[in-house]
Amino acid sequence: MTNRVAIPLSERTPAAAAALREEIPHLRPRPLGAASSFGFGDRTGRATPGHARALEATGSRLVPVLAQQSARELERTGRTFTEVLDAATWGAFESGWTGGYGADADHLRTVDEVTAALDAGFTMLTLDPSAHVDETEGDLDALPWTELRDDWRAMRLRHAAVADDATIAAAATTFGSALAHVTELARLADGRDVDIEVSVDETSRPTTPFEHRFLAVELRRLAVPFTSLAPRFAGTWQKALDVSGDADEIRRSIEAHAAIASEHGHKLSVHSGSDKFSAYPFLAEATDSLHVKTSGTSYLEALRVVAAVDEDLFRAVLEVARRRFDVDRASYELSPGAGIPSRTGELAALLDEPGARQALHVTYGAVLSHPELGPALGAALDTHADAYAGALERHLGRHLIGLA
């Protein structure tokens, strides 16, 4: 790598990070458009050097999103969008990364969240209308037709060539209010050079090909300038684990959604994309315009380093995670066997045990915001920064190679 410069931690202020971005163009996040990309979530604020090493070691052509955090993650860790972007700025600077990067404010649900992300300088907004998706048998008359600038007759005619009335009505009642909400949020970015992603991956069932097509057509009609769309694919895509289910069904689902994304001119996005090694070949073969998001897997690799260098600290993390798990699991789709076992053998081996991986993945907020554990974990990673970067180079490198 080049341009390695050591910056004292005491000088890493928000003003200094902003000045650095102003002075050095490649440290400014940018929109990525249709280019295939990879989201590197960083819950600790210390992962970017390892992410840069993974990119360089693999020679990946995927454009990195080095600053990525969801509004939910910020709530749980107590961080801000500005802090996330600043951490990526310093990490890219100190590692000599000159390849540019994106900044994704993930799963934005409200006007305030979108405004905060824009004010911080994020260049990708992932809009999440999950709270407005109606998976019951909804009523067409109850849809916000005024906000949609539409009526049932016109909607029916738009989609009649590819679906019957019942299928169109079902998609309308499921996603009508969500479309109105996304349109409201997207308007906040008018005149800003940002990518917009629309996420409907957190539904209780897979998105059908027609629903994907319906959303694409309606978003274009509503003049929402979206770059990518994240459907829910067939199979089980849970946090921290590989995808499970019928491989042929998963492949066909990916191919169908990739074809619709290509037809309608947007990028296919994959949420809960970390550790989905069996699906990566399907994704790589199906499309050349792809976005894959990872988040918690870099945090789990941080815990792997801690387990190796400070067993007492890792045991304290396990205890906090065990106490908090029943509360935190409510926000995520996890396997029935998820949880921290009451007895533990080799500590590092827990990071390879599916149930423990998921429990540690979702309890990050309780650990990182803990007044003693959070700082102790950060100090351990700072002391063993090279070991952490090496772990990320190996683990995230597997992701990048799988998507090549």
Half-sphere exposure of residue 64: CA atoms within 13 angstroms, side-chain side? 33
* Residue 97, both tokens: 């990364």
Task: Tell me the catalytic residues.
Answer: 106, 197
Q: Are 244 and 264 in contact (CB under 8 A)?
A: no
Nearest to 272 by CA among 305, 304, 231, 302: 231
Q: Which amino acid is at 121?
A: G
Rounded to the nearest angstrom, the gap between the alpha carbon of residue 315 and the centroid of all alpha carbons in its chain is: 28
Backbone angles phi, psi at 192, to 5 degrees: -105, 145
User: In which residue are the tokens 């969801």 written?
Assistant: 70
Backbone angles phi, psi at 273, to 5 degrees: -85, -5
Length of the chain: 404
Backbone angles phi, psi at 363, to 5 degrees: -100, 15
Angstrom distance (rounded) from CA 23 to CA 42: 24
Helix (H) or strand (E) run with residue 293 in it = strand 290-294
Nearest to 350 by CA among 311, 384, 292: 311
User: In which residue are the tokens 């509360």 written?
Assistant: 327
**C-alpha distances in angstroms, 11 versus 15, 120, 388?**
9, 19, 23
Give the chain's count of helices (H) and strands (E). 17, 8
* Residue 204, both tokens: 């209780």
Q: Are 332 and 326 in contact (CB under 8 A)?
A: no
Angstrom distance (rounded) from CA 105 to CA 69: 6
